[in-house]
Amino acid sequence: MELEQVAALPAGGEMRLRATAEEATPVRPAAAPAAARSQATRAALLTGPILPTLLKLALPTVTVLVAQTAVNIAEAYYVGFLGTGALAGAALVFPIFMLMTMMSNGGLGSGVASAVARAVGAGRRNDADALLFHAVVLAIVFGGLFTLGATLGGPLLYRTLGGSGDALAAAITYSNYLFAGAVPVWIVNLQAAALRGSGNVKVPALVTLVGAIVTIPVSPVLIFGLGPFPRLGIGGAGIAFGLYYTAAMLFLLRYMASGRSGLTFRVVRLRAALFADMLKVGIPTAVNAVLTNLNVILITGAVGLFGTSALAGYGISSRLDYIMIPLLFGISTATLTMVGVNMGAGQTARARRIGWISGGVGLLFTGTIGVAVAVFPTAWLHLFSHDAEVVREGTTYLRIVAPAYSALGFGFVTSFAAQGTGRAMGPLAASLARILIAAGGGWIAVTSFGAGMTGLACLVTASLVAYAAVCTMIMLSRRIWRPEPH
């Protein structure tokens, strides 16, 4: 018999239903309050009002992303004092770092969060706990691959991206130190994803906030030197990053092992079924992250054919995506958790309703921003440039694309709802449709038919509409919203 909702039991019935054949292991006294909190969280996810619960779960994650953004901005500011070569070197490494972050947080991290949420919802406490150790194994494998890849392939990659001289030397130094800490990064991000999947969003947020408070002042000490600390240059930025994630990893692992999180980390026998449960969502979602980055790169290349002013105008306009997507990620991870827990508990109708409501929140959020920017594009563009040609190109792009940001918001959030069901191929198909229309169609339109910024912007808009359309089909599909056998 699976774990029942404690909140729904009649008086005196809790002890009778709580013990199961799978959950016969006694709860340590120190972990008893955490177990009670875990039950209360589960009950809220299964029975609480959808919109308030969604916003309560999303807010700490949004705070985390704001803090991480602050750290990235501060680090770029510090590195700028080392000269143009160092700044260019950091810029060469940044896309690879962002790819790792997206794959660990939103790629395999989504797979971990989905598997944990569905296990918690179904009352499979032993499986939920075991997933923590399996996630660490995945983190070691994928983190090790990034470390190895950056060490062996970094010089060639950064040279291919245009690095040379001081910029290439700075990129290699920064990359070696930064990716030396790839395994701790993956462990922290996957353990944080497991916590979010169980409904515990406050601890990952607190760890990140403390890390930001410490890293922002520590980084310049290691970069420029102070007292007994030598000047390490751009390597100091990578070391500061690694120190933070190593400390965060040790804290999270100890916290998880204590059972205070509601989940308990321990070494268990590896099971192929648990790896498969995480990877069936994690792998397609990680590929999705690669496609998202590739889409931006290819569109940027197409715009580059129009000249420097058009490239600058597009670059300024597309920065809106990098502001909205992290905020959407906060809503989306909360959606994934709520959908996953309800799917695990067999409450498929409520899970689908959560998906629709969350998608509506994403649509309203990005749609409001999109309409405002389409009507007043210079309010955004003038923050970065007053060059008439740059502003003209940016205005053309925003007036066509910005109204479709509502489609981006709806599609992005509902794709995470689908991941919460344990089925991620639909969202991958949506991203493929988007890149084929925007990047593929854009290149053909520009190179073969002489389309300008207006034509390219129309194709980007069409790609966002197609993305939302595929995600709408996912929401309407009965196959997606059926309970999984256990």
| Residues 111 and 200 reside in one and the same domain | yes
323-332, 361-370, 393-402, 414-423: which has the minimum mean pLDDT? 323-332
Cβ(177)–Cβ(239) under 8 Å? yes
Would you state the pLDDT for residue 26? 45
| Residue 292 maps to a domain | no
Of 270, 287, 322, the residue that ends a domain is 270
- 41 in any annotated domain: no
- Same domain membership, residue 266 and residue 308: no
Structure confidence by residue, pLDDT tens digits, 190-237: 999 999 888 888 888 888 788 777 888 888 888 888 878 888 888 888
**CB distance 234 to 167 below 8 Å:** no
Domain contains 486: no
Domain presence at residue 2 = no
What confidence score (pLDDT) does residue 407 get? 96
Give the number of domains in the chain: 2
Question: Are 168 and 250 in the same domain?
Answer: yes
Length of the chain: 486
Is 96 within 8 Å of 178 (Cβ atoms)?
A: no
Name which of 218, 211, 216 is nearest 246 in CA terms. 211
Co-location of 327 and 430 in the same domain = yes
pTM for the structure as a whole: 0.77
Quick one: pLDDT band at residue 467, thresholds 50, 70, 90? Answer: very high
Residues in a beta bridge with 229: 226
Q: Is the pLDDT of residue 244 over 80?
A: yes
Question: Which of 101-110, 185-194, 311-320 shows the lowest per-residue confidence on average (mean pLDDT)?
Answer: 311-320
Query: What would the two tokens of residue 295 be?
Result: 């889409």
Residues 305, 156: one domain? no
- Which residue among 233, 252, 270 closes a domain? 270
Mean pLDDT (whole number) for 453-477: 95
* Mean pLDDT within 410-436: 92
Specify whether 451 is located in the same domain as 408: yes
Instruction: Give the range of the structural domain holding residue 454, as residue numbers without chain letter.
Output: 297-476
Do residues 248 and 326 both lie within one domain? no
241 located within any domain? yes
Question: Is 368 within a domain?
Answer: yes
Q: Are 259 and 313 part of one and the same domain?
A: no
Summary mean pLDDT of the chain: 84
Rounded Cα–Cα distance for residues 197 and 128 (Å): 10
Please check whether residues 317 and 184 belong to one and the same domain: no
The residue from 270, 285, 308 where one domain ends is 270
Would residue 109 count as lying in a domain? yes
Q: 254 and 303 share a domain?
A: no
Q: What percentage of the chain exceeds 90 in pLDDT?
A: 37
325 plus 238 within the same structural domain? no
Is 301 in the same domain as 263? no
Cα→Cα distances 174→78, 167, 169, 484, Å: 13, 10, 9, 45
Tell me, yes or no, whether 39 lies in a domain: no
DSSP-derived 3-state class of residue 123: coil
Encoded amino acid at 394, one letter: G
Q: pLDDT tens-digit profile of 292-320? A: 778 877 887 788 788 878 878 887 787 77
Q: What's the rounded Cα separation, in Å, for the pair 357 and 335?
A: 9
